[in-house]
Amino acid sequence: MAEIGGSIESVTLEGRTYTVASDADVAQKLGGFENEVQANGDGGARKIMTRVPWGLSDITVSIDPETDDLEFLQSLANTKGFIDCTLTEVGGTVWQGSGTITGEMPRSLQATTAAVNLMGQGKLTKQ
């Protein structure tokens, strides 16, 4: 089967779906472990495994001021716990994780979009 790349269709945060700008190149990290190798004095080595969260960055979502989209995003960022996050790719692949909004969410008034970054616990899993 051929790989299908392209636009992200949507991201759903705590049940509310946002369409994603067609030119947004979302970066994805599945979570799990990042590894490094450290040398021992005798020439051997140790594998150091550091657990890391999953992440989705540079998601440019469409913002409708009439439906308070930006205010809803801010309320999710203000939430003390993690929220349900789902990303749908153009080819139909769906990813799900428990996470939170990280960093700033600047809104472009001209483009009516906002930049959203997500990170979370455990792994981002394919549904």
Tell me the pLDDT tens digit for each residue of 18-40. Answer: 999 999 999 999 999 999 999 99
Q: How far apart are CA 64 and CA 121, in angstroms?
A: 29
- Domain extent at residue 102: 8-126
Partners of residue 8 on adjacent β-strands: 89
Is residue 5 scored above 90 in pLDDT?
A: no
Residue 72 lies in a domain: yes
Tokens describing residue 84: 């349900």
Per DSSP, the three-state class of 70 is helix
Tell me the pLDDT tens digit for each residue of 73-114. Answer: 999 999 999 999 999 999 899 999 999 999 999 999 999 999
Question: What integer pLDDT is reported at residue 1 of this predicted model?
Answer: 57
Q: How far apart are CA 102 and CA 110, in angstroms?
A: 23
Partners of residue 126 on adjacent β-strands: 95
CA-derived radius of gyration, the chain: 17
Domain with residue 18: its CATH number is 2.40.30
Cβ contacts of 68 within 8 Å, gap of 6 or more: none
Residue 41 lies in a domain: yes
Residue 3 lies in a domain: no
